[in-house]
Amino acid sequence: MMRAGFALLAVPLLVSCGGSSEQSAPPPTTVSAITSVTPAPRASAPAATPSRAVSPRPTAPTATPRQVDLARLVVRSATFTRRSPRDWDRQRVGAFDVERFVSKLSGTPQEDRQLLARTGFVRGYVSIRMSSDDRRLAVYLYRFRSHEGAVTLQNRFWGQYEHGDTFTVRGISRTWTDSGLTKKSSPTRFTAGANVNFVVGNVLAQVTVTESSQTIDGLRPDTRLAAAISNLQQDLLKAAG
C-alpha cells in the first residue's frame, strides 16, 4: 500500500490549519445530490491528534454511509480538476477489491491481504486528480462491514510506516495526520506531502496532497489544503449516512 511516510528530511515546517478558500466543485448532473451538501457548522475547538505512540480507543461510530457507489462519495475539489497524465496513477485509479488492492496498490501484499480479510473489508475506491500547477490529490476510500473494522485497519495501516510531523484538522475527530518532505534520486526530485486519515461510520478515508519540485527551495507540505479537503470529504460521507 502506498501510504504516507514523510520522515526522510528534517526541515522546519510552517504548519497552519485555519480557514481555506478550498471549496467543493459543482458535481456533474449524473452525480447524486449528496455531493452538493453544504458543510455543517463545526465546533471552533480543534480536534486533538492522537499520539503516534499510543493507539487510541475507537470512538462511538458516526452515521454509516449507505451502500452507494464509492465513486460518488469522493470529494470533488475546485483545485484538483484534471486527470493525472501519469501511467502509474492511471493504472491505480478506480474501484478495487482485495485482489486488485494487493496486486496494484499494496507495498506489503501478503500482510495487507490478511489485514483486509480480518477487518471485514468489502470494497474500495481510489481517486487521483491534478491541479493546474501539477499538485496531486489522492483520495482512498475503504468500506468495511463494521465501524470497528475501519478503525482497526486505520490503526494497522498507520503502524506500518514511520511518519513525519503531525498537524491538527479542525472539525474531524480522531484524525491521524502526517506531513513532511521526501527526496528521490536519479534524477533528484523533492516531494512535499500532507496526509489525513479518518473514519466515518464504516468507511476509512485517506486524503493526501503532494507537490513535487527539482529544488527544495520554498517547498512545504500544504497542510491547510489537505485539512480543508478532508473536511469536505467528511461532509460527503456523513451526508450519505
Residue 40 has what pLDDT?
44
Helix (H, G, I), strand (E, B) or coil at 67: coil
Q: Is residue 85 part of a domain?
A: yes
Percent of the chain with pLDDT over 70: 72
Q: Give yes or no for residue 20 having a pLDDT over 70.
A: no
127 within domain boundaries = yes
Distance between CA atoms of 154 and 141, rounded to whole angstroms? 11
Cα gap 176→214, rounded to integer Å:
29
Interatomic CA distance for residues 154 and 142, integer angstroms = 10
| Amino acid, res. 30 | T
State the pTM of this model. 0.74
Q: Could you give the number of structural domains in the chain?
A: 1
The reply to whether 17 falls in a domain is no
Residue 40 lies in a domain: no
| CA neighbor of 140 nearest in space, from 126, 150, 153, 130 | 126
Residue 139 lies in a domain: yes
Q: Does a structural domain hold residue 25?
A: no
Domain assignment present for 30: no
202, 143 in Cβ contact below 8 A?
yes
Model confidence band, residue 23 (pLDDT cutoffs 50, 70, 90): low
Those residues with Cβ within 8 angstroms of residue 153's Cβ, 6 or more apart along the chain or in another chain: 115, 116, 119, 121, 142, 144, 204
CA 94 – CA 88 distance, rounded (Å) = 13
- Domain containing residue 76: 57-239
Specify if 34 maps to a domain.
no
d(CA 179, CA 90) in angstroms, rounded, equals 24
91 pLDDT above the threshold of 60: yes
124-135 residue pLDDT tens = 999 999 999 999
